[in-house]
Amino acid sequence: GGGLGGDFNKLFLGNLIYPQIRIEGFMCSRWLSGQKGTFLRDMHRYLKSGKLETTETVTEGIENWPAAFQSLFTGANNGKVVVKVADPKPLRAEKKEEQKEEKKNEDTKEE
């Protein structure tokens, strides 16, 4: 089986070393030098236009982060794994209320 089947960690390196099998990585960065800006601009345009779509697996609550993390290794996720800690909108509204209250208290002190 391959890595996708969950057998990846069962690879015995001796099977590669003794028959003198060569494994070599490939990095394309030296061929892409000077093109990074074009790539990022193009990808942004594709995402914005809907030509390219992304997928996410969103897990609610910081207490569930271990399961979200584990999904990276079990294949239970689809796309990027995101742990949603809190909804930012209520927090922003709460902060604005606090700021209003502080300003109100400051104005009251000045009088």
- pLDDT at residue 81, rounded to an integer: 94
* Lowest pLDDT segment from 3-7, 8-12, 96-100, 105-109: 3-7
Residue 99: in which H helix or E strand, if any?
helix 88-110
DSSP for 23-76? ------HHHHTT-HHHHHHHHHHHHHHTSS---EEEEESGGGHHHHHHHHHHT-
- For 57, phi then psi, to 5°, come to -110, 110
Residue range 33-80, pLDDT digits in tens: 666 667 778 888 999 999 988 899 999 999 999 999 999 999 898 889
The answer to whether the Cα torsion of 39, 42, 47, 51 is positive or negative is negative
- pLDDT at residue 2, rounded to an integer: 47
Residue ranges covered by each domain of the chain: 3-110
